[in-house]
């Protein structure tokens, strides 16, 4: 696959430009921001049926896509791509003519203002009783010793049409996440603002998996590597065994002795891929992430399948795969979803042996997205368009 590149100076707002390009895109597209770089990708020169890491290496191009909670997904090599970084826009396409068109589209991007109008969603009340019931069932399994922890989510319908591009821009202006994403790919539209990166792999095979610390600010004890079985009596201990699980998963694909845990309780588990292993092997063992499933993972996933089947991209991840083997994997843990004519919000909470705040936690996470829901047409009204 041939790739033509062109670098042009760009002094504007990269996220605003990428979102505006997505708004006018007639084909599937992805906007992804990682704090230093903003990506816009459009079209599908190739739909990826195998490992996206292999496809990126084979094509010499970045592969974009998403993987669902049950490890299905959709990945593509885009027809055109813009990578914004350090005042420069790097344009990529199949030929020079396509680069000309892409450069003109970028030059024509206008300043974007979004009105303050918002769509109200019933994030506090919808499904509350059903969610409490699911939490109760999970607690019973935890107290019976079948589970240590499990992440259960709540879905809230959005009662009117939402402008995904305007919502993405409004939400990003109001938050400072580790990652933000906006995509229309594989029959799904998804946007979100995530505080964490679940997996990163560099071109040399170095892997890092990050886990946020336990909630509640409880004291931390050095229990991460304790071998004897113990019930999840506190959030701290539950977090510690989650860290240990991630370390064990990475050990299955990394060089012996290379897996390390640092900065506990806000843990980074690192390792070096074994010879013959690819970055996608790391993803295969780590997804669904423990932050979206639970411990033990198989039993937690079985419970999730019973009480909330068909999660789709929620609990999965948005993935960028580079030709050198590097991967950026962002968990989809709080976002807006549109599929088959329905639009909804979804977010979850970690259920441990002592229930109480799960419903409130989901409400807080849902509000972190719902307060940015922009009604369809608001973007154009603010700009004076018809």
Q: Which range (37-41, 124-128, 316-320, 375-379) has the least confidence?
A: 375-379
Tens of pLDDT along 120-131? 999 999 999 999
219 band by pLDDT with thresholds 50, 70 and 90 = very low
CATH of 128-379, one of 3.60.120.10, 2.60.120.470, 3.30.830.10, 3.50.50.60: 3.60.120.10
Output the pLDDT for position 262. Answer: 84
Alpha carbon distances (Å) from 187 to 32, 183, 347: 18, 10, 21
Tens of pLDDT along 180-206? 999 999 999 999 998 776 788 998 999
Distance CA 47, CA 346 (A): 27
**Mean pLDDT score of the chain, rounded to an integer?**
88
Tens of pLDDT along 338-365? 999 999 999 999 998 667 889 999 999 9
Distance CA 77, CA 337 (A): 23
Query: Which long-range CB contacts under 8 A does 255-258 form with residues at least 24 apart?
Result: none
Output the pLDDT for position 238. Answer: 67
Tens of pLDDT along 260-298? 998 766 678 999 999 999 899 999 999 999 889 999 999
Domain with CATH 3.60.120.10 in the chain: 128-379
Of 103, 196, 268, 382, the catalytic one is 196
Q: What is the pTM of this model?
A: 0.89
Tens of pLDDT along 135-153? 999 999 999 999 988 999 9
236 band by pLDDT with thresholds 50, 70 and 90 = low
Alpha carbon distances (Å) from 6 to 90, 98, 162, 321: 6, 11, 35, 21
SS3 of 362, please?
helix
Residue 116 has pLDDT above 90, yes or no: no
| 196 labelled catalytic | yes
Residue 320 has pLDDT above 90, yes or no: yes
């Amino acid at each position: 696959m041939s790739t033509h590149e062109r670098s042009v100076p760009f002094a504007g707002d990269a996220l605003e430009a990428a979102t505006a390009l997505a708004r006018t895109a007639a084909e599937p597209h992805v906007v992804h921001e990682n704090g230093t770089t903003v990506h816009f990708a459009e079209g599908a020169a190739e739909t990826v049926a195998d490992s996206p890491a292999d496809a990126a290496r084979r094509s010499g191009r970045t592969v974009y896509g998403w993987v669902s909670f049950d490890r299905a997904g959709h990945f593509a090599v885009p027809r055109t791509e813009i990578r914004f970084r350090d005042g420069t826009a790097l344009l990529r396409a199949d030929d020079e003519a396509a680069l000309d068109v892409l450069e003109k589209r970028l030059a024509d991007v206008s300043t974007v203002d979004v009105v303050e109008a918002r769509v109200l969603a019933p994030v506090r009340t919808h499904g509350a009783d059903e969610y409490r019931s699911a939490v109760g069932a999970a607690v019973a399994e935890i107290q019976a010793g079948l589970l240590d922890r499990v992440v259960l989510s709540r879905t809230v319908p959005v009662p009117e049409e939402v402008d995904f591009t305007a919502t993405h821009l409004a939400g990003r202006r109001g938050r400072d996440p580790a990652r933000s994403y906006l995509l229309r790919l594989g029959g799904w539209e998804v946007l979100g603002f995530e505080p964490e990166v679940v997996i990163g792999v560099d071109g040399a095979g170095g892997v890092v998996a990050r886990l946020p610390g336990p909630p509640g600010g409880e004291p931390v004890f050095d229990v991460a590597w304790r071998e004897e079985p113990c019930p999840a009596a506190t959030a701290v201990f539950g977090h510690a065994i989650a860290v240990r699980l991630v370390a064990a998963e990475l050990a299955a694909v990394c060089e012996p002795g290379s897996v390390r845990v640092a900065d506990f309780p806000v843990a980074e588990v690192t390792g070096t891929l074994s010879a013959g292993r690819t970055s996608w092997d790391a993803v295969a063992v780590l997804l669904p992430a423990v932050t979206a499933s639970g411990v033990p993972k198989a039993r937690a996933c079985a419970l999730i399948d019973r009480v909330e089947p068909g999660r789709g991209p929620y609990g999965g991840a948005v993935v960028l795969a580079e030709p050198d083997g590097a991967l950026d994997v962002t968990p989809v843990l709080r976002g807006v979803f549109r599929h088959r004519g329905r639009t909804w919000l979804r977010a979850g909470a970690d259920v441990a042996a002592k229930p109480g705040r799960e419903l409130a936690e989901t409400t807080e996470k849902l509000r972190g997205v719902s307060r940015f829901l922009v009604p369809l047409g608001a973007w154009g009204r603010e700009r004076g368009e018809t």
